[in-house]
A and B are shown apart, each in its own frame.
Chain A
């Protein structure tokens, strides 16, 4: 089942990457990042069957970091929306020269 898990992981990760590239809605882009993190978790779990349970510990760390990232990122989105009234990444170009 290792090869199948790795193929599924790769497919899910690529779907996340393409979602980040295609979409303009900041919230959907954040969800794509979560999908990529979860795909990596599946890799850790699949390898932990052959390399011991340490891989599952790293999954716990990845989950913690992704939860923190979601909280801070959504707070940033709320803050931007308060100033610009939009979450469209095309209109958020404050740093463009």
Chain B
């Protein structure tokens, strides 16, 4: 792989945010109450946003903070408060020993599979020149780097996404409103 030489500063912070993301994800998955779990997940999302910025995807980093940490997690916390689920209950005990064992086995299998795939040889003819992304960033700035291929190469997917969002909005309103308001 044609890795350019990274400074020690860069590598240190890359590992730092990676370790923070991993530790927060582990803390998230071991919580049994939804509110601490959501806050640990927000921490994971923030460190992943930092990693996105370090990987030359500044706009994606901003979107990560706005959409995931800002919007989606707020919706989760809102539902937890709306349904009054914050206090521990019989849900505090996750599944039993055999489920945990099976989950660990599935996790190990998937992990080994992904590691094998990650070692596969990547097609060389698809690789762009090393400073391609930097040039794009210089030429089109952070938003244009994404907007140009989005509107030039994937207009159909973009339009279908708008239809998906419309259907999702309508479906969420209909589902959450319930029968009482419609029967009147």
Contact = CB atoms under 8 A, between A and B. Distances in A.
Given A1-B14, A4-B18, A45-B60, A11 B172 contact: no
Interface in B146-168: 146, 149-150, 153-154, 157, 161, 164-165, 167-168
Given A27-B85, A57-B146, A7 B118 contact: yes
A33 to B, nearest CB: 11
A72 B172 contact: yes
Given A1-B14, A41-B60, A68-B165, A50 B127 contact: yes
Given A50-B128, A78-B176, A45 B57 contact: yes
B37 A28 contact: yes
Interface residues of A, number: 68
Say which size band chain B's interface belongs to: 35 or more
A71 B171 CA distance: 9
A61 B167 CA distance: 16
B132 to A, nearest CB: 6
A59 B161 CA distance: 13
Chain B facing A: main interface SS: helix
Nearest to A73: B172
Contacts of A2: 1, 3
Contact of A22 (B1, B99, B115): B99
A81 B83 contact: yes
Nearest to B44: A35
8 contacts: A5-B55, A8-B21, A35-B28, A42-B52, A48-B55, A56-B146, A70-B75, A77-B79
